[in-house]
């Protein structure tokens, strides 16, 4: 039985010899940015990943994935997605609907402001936000990003259109005015 050191599934990305290597390098950087975003959203440092995984994921390796210095195999990416508790497609660049290059503006709820809105008005939103926090394990308590689908679901709960609900949430101070742009760009598509 031959010895294979861990990490043989990691290949350097940049190569000036190969046509299209710039694309590979750019793709690796985009993938790395998504990996970093997931890690930081979970409040983990690179060393925190190594500790939480009991050494399965070395800080130096995960860092090289995040910088785009090294490519990751599909198998290792799937294992990393499983470790973070996210679907693999969430880590892949260019997986937005319609292949849009730029993601739509984020919808970010101000949870501190939400707590000041009377329960009779904001009760359903407060419960929905608490459910999302529980599912994500995201308890920073200050802000919570939601998806367009979440806003559509909330609009059904409030018996309003997404744009009318957006205006209501902006007036409560729960959403930033930039949310108008996010909702308008989504309604156009």
Higher pLDDT, 70 or 102: 70
- Tens digit of each residue's pLDDT (9 = 90 or more) over 151-178: 899 999 999 998 899 999 999 999 988 7
Q: Do 143 and 110 meet the contact criterion of CB atoms below 8 Å apart?
A: yes
Average pLDDT, integer, range 81-85: 87
Residues 6 or more apart in contact with residue 64 via CB below 8 angstroms: 10, 70
What is this structure's pTM?
A: 0.45
Residue 185's pLDDT is 62
Single out the residue of 79, 91, 87 nearest to residue 35, CA to CA.
91
Long-range contacts of residues 99-106, Cβ cutoff 8 Å, at least 24 apart: 104/148, 104/182, 104/185, 104/186, 105/178, 105/179, 105/181, 105/182, 105/185, 106/145, 106/182
According to the model, what pLDDT value does residue 46 have? 92
Tokens of 155: 């609009």
- C-alpha distance across the termini of the chain, in Å: 56
Rounded distance, CA 172 to CA 109, Å?
11
What b/e sequence results for 149-158 when a residue is b if at least 16 CB atoms lie within 10 Å of its CB, and e otherwise? ebbeebbeeb
Query: Would you state the pLDDT for residue 138?
Result: 80
């Amino acid at each position: 039985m031959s010895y294979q050191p861990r990490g043989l599934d990691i290949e350097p990305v940049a190569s000036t010899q190969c046509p299209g290597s710039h694309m590979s390098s750019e793709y690796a950087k985009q993938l790395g940015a998504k990996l970093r975003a997931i890690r930081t959203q979970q409040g983990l440092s690179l060393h925190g990943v190594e500790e939480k995984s009991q050494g399965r994921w070395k800080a130096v390796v995960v860092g090289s994935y995040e910088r785009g210095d090294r490519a990751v195999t599909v198998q290792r990416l799937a294992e990393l997605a499983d470790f973070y508790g996210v679907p693999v497609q969430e880590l892949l660049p260019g997986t937005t609907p319609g292949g849009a290059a730029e993601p739509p503006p984020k919808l970010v709820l101000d949870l501190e402001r939400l707590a000041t809105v009377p329960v009779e008005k904001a009760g359903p939103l407060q419960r929905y936000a608490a459910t999302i926090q529980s599912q994500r394990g995201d308890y920073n308590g200050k802000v919570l990003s939601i998806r367009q689908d979440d806003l559509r679901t909330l609009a059904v709960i409030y018996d309003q259109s997404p744009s009318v609900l957006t205006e209501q949430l902006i007036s409560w101070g729960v959403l930033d005015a930039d949310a108008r742009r996010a909702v308008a760009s989504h309604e156009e598509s």
